[in-house]
Structure 1
């Protein structure tokens, strides 16, 4: 299950935006999508700077979507405690997302001139989408709807980004997501107005194969550290894995040595975190009749950088599709 949180802010004294329409369209698009059961979406309104870290702590989302005004170097426009505008700067945003880099996979900044924030946040987050120019309100909504329609159809972030670009329709509305529009759009043609706006997808430096999410395969692992009384005994290990193609399970018995067991296997970017691991001792094998593992036994799921200790074993087969 991927968690999506939408952060909306339109303070007093700033031009009115149809953020309610954007959120509604995203909700409806995901609800009608083929993979709706794989997404859980929540929204927060009138967002203040403190609300960002609170929602990241409480929800632990994989996708964070901001919609509202942007001011380039000044940052994103949020609210203070009385509803007036308050900027949150680029470095502050980058430092915050650095703390949640293990859970947040993608950040969407659907606001004017937010490419500046995207360029910095991508030091810590794999995928960040920002806007390189002032963006008209209806066009920003078109992009968001296309992007989430793509995700809801099982596409990768990169593929969904392309769908979002294709969904953009020319619109001559004068409402932009810049705090104070520099000029009116009224005298421009549709093609000229659209040329001011281009969503930019930034990927984290050093991702390498991650830049093609459809093809990426990387190593992930589950580390099992037994309590001493259960060491060197056989256990039934079950790893359950959710992907956009369905639900999968690996289940076998293994002897867990005293130093721990490290099970390594593969992940594609379209596979969904988190996975669950269940470890049960086989009481019929035990001379002491143990029927459960105490809280001292640890199960740790991770990816990319493997622990240096524990007995390592590759899992290359025997994944079975399961139905719920």
Structure 2
């Protein structure tokens, strides 16, 4: 019979800095300086020590380094985006910006609960995070927590920043222009716009860009149809656009990918071919929706990973004491072309 002590796993002791120094044939002080990028020594000596540490599997004591540099090498990411639709790709970009600097990111979902948000902020400060990135599910609303006057820098991404703070958002007008101009290049001449509620700032911004492009191309502007951010609304909008006897649209620019999917399904039910008779473009480039749509959906991508990366780099700069001008930076979108919008006329 095997005892608990005999069956317990045996873990190897961590390699010490002294072992690295002995193996590399240098003093402990020299080994420490080489691994921290400090001190005077030849490039060959520094590289030999680092290679020795790598082969031995040496890992620096992060707690000791934190105390030495007065940094925790952690950043908090606060969001109320419960589904992670926007916060997860943005977090991927933040992590990409910080990983090379040895900084880790941990995510806290504050939902729409002020008390929960405050608890998360206090926990982050207790853990001595180097800074906080705030993000949300829409760009025109503040998170339900006060992030002003904290003892660490705060950067905002895809949410409304506090006065005097640094913020990053996607350029929604630019994204809408990409979609409508693409339809114009494809020879579409009667372009409709179906979007979400008017209470969202992005809805009005995109509708304004839609009207501007049509005016620039001397095309008739159909009054945008505004409703919910849902497939059901896209389905209902098709009944409004194609149910009468008037001239039908030959293209539909949608405010998000769910609406676009509803539009395509409703057109198919009416026997209207996409993209042969009507082209459709969505917004968000939510790949799980866009690629599964039939035909696959052309959509505007807000470049959330790039947005997160820029926010991460900005926060690093602030943590390092570099000043940053307050205000909102708008990052360009890109159009991901699939089959739903069709090809240019011959």
Q: TM-score, normalised by structure 2?
A: 0.30
Higher strand share: 1
Higher helix share: 2
Q: Flag the structure with larger Rg.
A: 2
Q: TM-score, normalised by structure 1?
A: 0.31
